[in-house]
Structure 1
Amino acid sequence: MRAAGGSGTAAGSTESDDERHTMTEGPNATTTGVPRIGLPARAVRTRRARGEPRLGAVAAAFTLAQLVLVRPDLGLGWDETVYVSQVSGHVPAAYFSAPRSRGISLLVAPVASWSDSTVLLRIYLAVLSGLALYLALRVWRGHFGPGVLALAGALFASLWVTLFYGPEAMPNYWVAIGALACVGCFLRARANPRDRAAWWGVFAGAALMAWMRPMDAVYVVLPLLALSVRRPRLLAVLGTGLAAGAGEWVIEAYTSYGGLAQRLSAASAIQGGLGWHLAVVDQLRSLGGRTLCRPCTGAAPSPVVTLWWFVLPLLAVLGAVVAVRARRALPVLLPLACAVTAAVPYLFLIGYAAPRFLLPAYALLALPVAHGLAHLVTAPAGRTARTVAVGLVAIGVAGHLAVQYVVLEHTVDGSAASRADWSRTAAALHTLGVRQPCLLSGYDAVPIAFYTGCGSAQTAGHDASTTVAELRRAAHRTSFAVLAPPGSRPPAYARTWPAEQAGGLRAYVAPGARQGR
């Protein structure tokens, strides 16, 4: 017969228990979403075809929700300006600090290299993220039924953090997609070595993760590496994928950061020093819509906002228990294990939080969670009990969606306000004669420089890239301004320069290099 997850024909001796104990909906199936071994291949293909519209609908709804709720005209955030500036033909490249990887810069290059339109970039990323979600979910058709897969995709896509970062020029969503595809293809290749598409999927998924965030990729694939110890071909494909994705980052470590060890050390220092840090509470505080929680102080959001975060692992464990009892544990336990290893560094090893860090864990957890929810609505015996179970789950999901929408709206409004402030400061700087070619330093100089069309340079902090002496020389040959918040003093070399109001900041403009008002 045709293998459940693959495209080729597998001999009976290559079929694993994972293929025999599968999950489905219907008279010719077990409880997990894939037809029984004796179901004709034509029926398997027909059933898969029926599931395609559901996955397509989830992906299309995800794309549409991004365009409607996040809005394409939302300005670029701080980190986005760094990534986009690397490939933009309209602004100088911002300093690229040690932890960053150039994967997202290359992903946006087809648009950002020739257009400065944020609207066009957002639409491009929204469409691309929806298509990527569809393809990543499709990988799992051999292990879960179309209903469970569509539910998993909807749960992940409806999180406010997923909707917010889908159209953003940020790497975390793409690590999540790579993780989802890599783990699914790993299961397919393990069950059917003749499935060529699965082998390529393992390579591509690992490469995509490492291309975006090399260290995240390593944490995600740890359980896969453990299962590959006695399977050298799988181990080689995984390793080759990681090496292909991280190759540029490693080469750049030697060309620009003094070596791999030095880059890793610098990256750790920028992240506050990797080590034991209990960041669980910090992540909890960030669930209210704080895109970066550093320092992470203040009260946690309302329990109504954070309830889903506590329910998530319970439902994932339920899905795992159901899968173990059905004797097809691996397709549920493996994404659960990878979700745990993906989350560990951001819950226990860094001293601050950002909700986007956990996107790969959320994507992988969506599968066992959907499996658990499907069990809740199908397991009760009797029509009345099942109706009650369906009603309770529906109410819970509806409440969850309402909370996610409220938090998303709050996050979008707050982000739009800060980015509008940068835009106003940039407009004020233009009236002060700070125009291309120009240079900014000081408070919020990195994003404001992007909005102004200038380069940025700092002498201290995570983005330190120059010296005071070099800035003094730059003040005589280019349009240069130092930004400072109200009430603070500028650096010594700029204290004699004329101070002007620029939005909510004070701009100290080098008198000898103004472009003229």
Structure 2
Amino acid sequence: MYELRAPSPAPVRAAGEPAPESSRRLLTWLVAIAVVCVAVQLAFVVPGSGLGWDETVYVSQAGGDAPAAFFSAPRARGISYLVAPVAALTGSTTVLRIYLALLSAGALVGAFRVWRTLVPGRVLVCAGALFATLWPTLFYGSMAMPNLWCALGALAATGWVARALLRGAGRAELLGAGAAMAVVVLMRPADGVWLALPLLLVAVVRPRMFAALAVGLLAGAAPWIVEAFAHYGGPLTRLHRASEIQGGLGWNLAVDDQAKALEGRTLCRPCTIPWQRPGATVWWVLLPFLTAGGAVVARRAGRGTAVLLATGTAVSLAVPYLFLIEYAAPRFLLPAYALLSLPVAECLVRLYAQARGPAGQPGRTVARRWRVVALAAVLAAHLAVQLQVTSRVSASSKSTTADFAAVAAALHRNGIRPPCVISGDQAVPIAHYAGCASRQTAGHDGSITPAGLREAARRVPTAVLVSGGGPRPAYAPAGPPVFLVETRGEGPFTGYLFPPPDRPGPDRPDS
């Protein structure tokens, strides 16, 4: 006997949920983009690279051969936590670079996948490719710097909030938004605040999402707050000191500075350089128009809420770096670029569809092909510019870190070996390369008095560095300077070396 059974019902998907085949195809495309991104970093950025100034500060907190550098008020420890598993095991910069490149590539795939139920797969693939191939993304993907992680966290947090607004705040949306918010604040508290402003505003209509974002904000800020009470007398005092170091917040039009920095300046402070390569900024000038066009396209397609939320959040994240600080760095705008990639992709996908034209018109095939070729040529030129700038910035960075390593080697030849103390010009990164502690008597990294430096010299080898033929610092020891090395970036480096601890010197009595 045969038993008659009703056919199993097809699985029900939530509104907007892509089919499993479509979701797998999207994942494949995003993974392919991430793989290409890693390959470019391994070809251009990783080989021969060393740790930059900021990286030495973050990495030194997590372990390694050098003492921890002074941790100034504006910094947060998120990136130190991220690199800790590798820094505690090895001092190899190459291993650290590969670890971060792979980790950031995986995070890129995850952050864009959050949006898979909100925008079509082809738009997400285009957005992912656009963001992944920007030179700041390629350059900082393997760097121990917080900005790219803020960008991916902001993209994910905004996506989870958009999903909650359109489909309801389920467990995934609540946990995802809270965790992403915590990551951004842990990396850069100021970015976390500017991210929270628009998201908390729209989440008022979803109290559970509002609470999840608030918890994430507080959880991410907790280490910074605890450290503020422990070392600065409280969060307000730390904020005041951070504002001093960053030049204060106020009306400062930095739009032109950010544009000039895109030609390959990792930091433009002060940004009084001539604008030598305006071609590198063409895409940036077109960005507002492509964003507006994409917002219109998304609205007509019924995706206006999600894309407008991404655009508004991007604007919030960009405001302090365009209008409130007096210097520029392309990495500061990575969170805005990540979110703006969505409306830009909407616009470009629509332009591609228009270039192809409607089917069934064989007489216009040639014209359609030319339009597609023209659009592809523009995008290829944009990609070529990004790769060129990536190569140039990487070469400049490697030259700078080679200079640091050369000065450190010269110090070793002159008897400044661990345990040791270094002060003066570029002391923070050079001390890391030399395995010494960096101690500055003034400035952003001021952490010791001149008397304290002299006292340290009684115990360990100590040197004061001067670059570019500068004058002898008042706190440097007596005696002629010792020539160390001629560098490409800073000119000649000289050192004023305190007498060795085991031998009395002219500026110190016998101990």
Q: How does 1:49-448 map to 2 (within 5 A)?
A: 49-193=24-168, 195-380=170-355, 381-382=357-358, 384=365, 386-448=368-430
- Tell me if 1:513 matches 2:505: no
| Alpha-carbon offset, residue 344 of structure 1 | 0.4
Contact 1:66 1:126 in 2 (8 A): yes
| Alpha-carbon offset, residue 389 of structure 1 | 3.3
Cα RMSD for the two superposed structures: 1.7
Q: Please tell me the residue identity of whatever aligns with 2:127.
A: A
Single out whichever of 371-380 and 193-202 deviates more from structure 2.
193-202
2: distance between equivalents of 1:310 and 1:514?
62
| Alpha-carbon offset, residue 154 of structure 1 | 0.8
| Alpha-carbon offset, residue 296 of structure 1 | 0.4
1: distance between equivalents of 2:447 and 2:172?
44
Contact 2:462 2:497 in 1 (8 A): yes
Structure 2 equivalent of residue 467 of structure 1: 449
| Alpha-carbon offset, residue 192 of structure 1 | 2.8
1: distance between equivalents of 2:481 and 2:12?
71
| Alpha-carbon offset, residue 175 of structure 1 | 0.0
SS of match in other structure, 1:163:
helix
2: distance between equivalents of 1:61 and 1:137?
16
| Alpha-carbon offset, residue 194 of structure 1 | 5.9
Q: Please tell me the residue identity of whatever aligns with 1:346.
A: Y
Single out whichever of 226-235 and 411-420 deviates more from structure 2.
226-235
2: distance between equivalents of 1:411 and 1:490?
32
2: distance between equivalents of 1:118 and 1:9?
46
Contact 1:498 1:511 in 2 (8 A): no
Contact 2:169 2:209 in 1 (8 A): no
Structure 2 equivalent of residue 27 of structure 1: none
2: distance between equivalents of 1:490 and 1:448?
18
Structure 1 equivalent of residue 469 of structure 2: 487
Q: Please tell me the residue identity of whatever aligns with 2:245.
A: I
Contact 2:169 2:208 in 1 (8 A): no
Question: Relative to structure 1, is the Cα distance of residues 9 and 203 closer, same or farther in structure 2, using a 3 angstrom cutoff?
Answer: farther
| Alpha-carbon offset, residue 405 of structure 1 | 1.2
Query: Which 5+ residue runs of structure 1 have no aligned equivalent?
Result: 1-6, 20-33, 36-43
Q: Please tell me the residue identity of whatever aligns with 1:507.
A: G
Contact 1:377 1:386 in 2 (8 A): no
Q: Please tell me the residue identity of whatever aligns with 1:440.
A: I
Counterpart of 2:433 (choices 444, 451, 455) is 451
**How many matched pairs?**
480
1: distance between equivalents of 2:100 and 2:428?
23
Query: Any idea what the Cα deviations from partners look like across 1:149-178, whole Å, max 9, x if unmatched?
Result: 111111101011110001000000000010
Contact 1:152 1:366 in 2 (8 A): yes
Q: Please tell me the residue identity of whatever aligns with 1:273.
A: G
Query: Any idea what the Cα deviations from partners look like across 1:315-338, whole Å, max 9, x if unmatched?
Result: 111110111222320111111111
Contact 1:378 1:386 in 2 (8 A): no
Contact 2:119 2:303 in 1 (8 A): no
Structure showing greater radius of gyration is 2
Query: Any idea what the Cα deviations from partners look like across 1:447-488, whole Å, max 9, x if unmatched?
Result: 000000000011111111111110111111111000012432
Contact 1:188 1:195 in 2 (8 A): no
TM-score by length of 1: 0.90
SS of match in other structure, 2:37:
helix
Structure 2 equivalent of residue 28 of structure 1: none
1: distance between equivalents of 2:427 and 2:479?
17
2: distance between equivalents of 1:303 and 1:508?
43
| Alpha-carbon offset, residue 393 of structure 1 | 1.6
Structure 1 equivalent of residue 4 of structure 2: none
Single out whichever of 99-108 and 139-148 deviates more from structure 2.
139-148
2: distance between equivalents of 1:88 and 1:317?
46
SS of match in other structure, 2:464:
strand
Question: Relative to structure 1, is the Cα distance of residues 46 and 499 closer, same or farther in structure 2, using a 3 angstrom cutoff?
Answer: same
| Alpha-carbon offset, residue 292 of structure 1 | 0.5
1: distance between equivalents of 2:183 and 2:425?
34
Contact 1:72 1:122 in 2 (8 A): no
1: distance between equivalents of 2:163 and 2:60?
39
Contact 1:174 1:212 in 2 (8 A): yes
SS of match in other structure, 2:341:
helix
Structure 2 equivalent of residue 499 of structure 1: 481
2: distance between equivalents of 1:477 and 1:262?
33
1: distance between equivalents of 2:259 and 2:112?
28
1: distance between equivalents of 2:122 and 2:299?
20
1: distance between equivalents of 2:12 and 2:496?
67
Single out whichever of 123-132 and 214-223 deviates more from structure 2.
214-223
Query: Any idea what the Cα deviations from partners look like across 1:350-381, whole Å, max 9, x if unmatched?
Result: 00001100000011111111111000011354
Query: Any idea what the Cα deviations from partners look like across 1:374-405, whole Å, max 9, x if unmatched?
Result: 00011354454543432222111100011111
1: distance between equivalents of 2:169 and 2:328?
42
Question: Relative to structure 1, is the Cα distance of residues 218 and 447 closer, same or farther in structure 2, using a 3 angstrom cutoff?
Answer: same
2: distance between equivalents of 1:426 and 1:229?
54
2: distance between equivalents of 1:336 and 1:375?
18
Query: Which 5+ residue runs of structure 2 have no aligned equivalent?
Result: 1-10, 359-363, 486-491, 504-511
Contact 1:253 1:260 in 2 (8 A): yes
Structure 2 equivalent of residue 40 of structure 1: none
SS of match in other structure, 2:423:
strand
TM-score by length of 2: 0.91
1: distance between equivalents of 2:260 and 2:32?
33
